Amino acid sequence: MASRRRDVALILLASVLWGTSFPGSKLTVDTVDPLFLTFARMALGASLGLLVLAAMGRLDRRIFREPIVWILGAVNAIGFDLQNEGILLTTASKTALLVNVNIVFIAILMVLFFGETVSREKVAGILIGLFGVVVLATKLDPASLGGGQFVGDLLVFLAGFIWAFYVAGVKWRVDRGGDSIALTAGILATSAVVATVPLLAFSTPIPRSETGWLGIVYLGLVPTFGPLMLYVASMRTISPTISALLILLEVVVAAILSFLFLHDALDGFTLAGGGLILLGAYVVTRGEKPSREPAAGGLTRVSADPAEFEPDGMMRR
C-alpha cells in the first residue's frame, strides 16, 4: 500500500506540472511555430533525461534498439504536433479538457488489450464523457462546426485519442520491466527525431522572439521529462485508467492559470462540458482495482528480458 500511495503522489505531482504546460504552450505558439515547438520541447526534455541517466551512470544505448520505443516516440510526436496546432486555434483550458477525454479511450484499450473488466460504470462513463466533449466543443450549436475554434478543438481531441494508444503502449512496455528513466528519455529522444520530419518538410522558421525561446525552455525543462518519468514509474502499481482520472487535476490547474493569465472565458457550456467529462471519468474509474505491483521497481534497472549482454555485445542466457 505504501508504494501505491507513493505512486498516486507521483501522478498528482506530474498532473500539476503538466497542467502548467497548456497555458505555457498557448503563450508560446503565438511567437513560435507549433511544429518547431514540438521538436524543441522533445529535444530539451530528452537532453535533460539523458543527462540524468549519465549522471547516474545508467546511460545505455540499447533502449534505442527497441522498436516499441520508436513507435511510442512517433505517436508522441504526432500527438504533440496535433495539440500545438490545435491550441493555436482554441483556448488552453479547452485544450486541457479535450486532451484528457482520452480517459474513455484508455479504458476501452485496457479492456481490449489488458483484460480489464468491462462494467456498466465504464460504458456509462464513456458515454457521459463523450457527451461532455460535444457540449464543450460545439456548445450544442451546429453552426459552430464550421468555425476555426472547432477545428482547433478537433485537433486537440485527436491528440488525446492518439495518446490513448500511446498510454497503452507505455503500459505494455513498463509491464516488461526495465529502467523507467531510460524508457522516458528514450521515448522523448525518439519523439524529437520523428518531430524533425514535418519540421523539415514544411521549412518551419526558427523563432526570433525572446519570449518564444523562454517558453520553449520552460516547456522543455519543466513539464516534459520530469512528469513523464513520474507517470511511467507510477504504472508499476496503478492502472492507466486510474492514472487518467488522477491526471485530470491538470485540467483544474490549466483552467485556473488560463483564467488568470490568458483571460479564458469560463461560460456555462465550458463548465457543463468540463463537468460532464470529469463525471464520466469518475464513473469510468469507480471501483477500479489497482494493478499488481511487479517484483522489480520501475525506478531500478531491471532487464526486460532474461537475456544479458557480454561486454562485446554478444547475448548470453
The pLDDT of residue 29 is above 80: yes
Q: What local confidence, expressed as pLDDT, does residue 4 receive?
A: 75
| Residue 118 confidence (pLDDT) above 80 | no
DSSP-based helix, strand, coil % in the chain, nearest 5: 75, 0, 25
Supply the pLDDT for residue 5.
78
Residue 86 banded pLDDT, cuts 50, 70, 90: very high
By C-alpha distance, which of 282, 285, 272 is closest to 133? 272
In this model, does residue 307 exceed pLDDT 50? no
Q: Does residue 220 lie in a domain region?
A: yes
The SS3 of residue 140 is coil
Given pLDDT bands bounded at 50, 70 and 90, which one contains residue 276?
Answer: confident
Residue 143 lies in a domain: no
Average pLDDT, the chain: 84
Answer whether residue 120 is part of any domain: no
**Whether pLDDT at 244 is above 90:** no
State mean pLDDT over 147-174: 92
**For residue 114, pLDDT beyond 90:** no
Residue 175 lies in a domain: yes
Is residue 82 included in any domain, yes or no?
yes
pTM to 2 decimals?
0.81
What percentage of the chain exceeds 70 in pLDDT? 85
| Domains of the chain: total | 1
Provide the pLDDT for residue 315: 39
pLDDT score of 143 more than 60: yes
CB distance 273 to 95 below 8 Å: no
- What is the separation, in whole angstroms, between the first and last Cα of the chain? 34
Cβ atoms of 254 and 19 within 8 Å: the answer is yes
Phi, psi of 34 (to 5 degrees): -55, -40
What does the pLDDT average to over 68-94? 95
Taking only the tens place, the pLDDT of each residue in 181-204 is 999 999 999 999 999 999 999 988
- Where does the pLDDT of residue 308 fall: very low under 50, low under 70, confident under 90, or very high at 90 and above? very low
Least confident range from 86-90, 128-132, 149-153, 297-301: namely 297-301
Domain membership of residue 292 (yes or no) is no
Burial of 289 (0-12, 13-18, 19+ CB in 10 A): exposed
% residues pLDDT > 90 (the chain): 48
Total residue count of the chain as it appears in this document: 317
Confidence category of residue 270, pLDDT binned at 50, 70, 90: confident
For residue 307, is it within any domain? no
Can you tell me the mean pLDDT for 35-50? Answer: 98
Q: What is the mean pLDDT of residues 19-25?
A: 95
Q: Does residue 92 lie in a domain region?
A: yes
Whether the CB-CB separation of 125 and 66 falls below 8 Å is answered with no
Higher pLDDT, 276 or 230: 230
The residue range of the domain holding 171 is 2-102+150-265
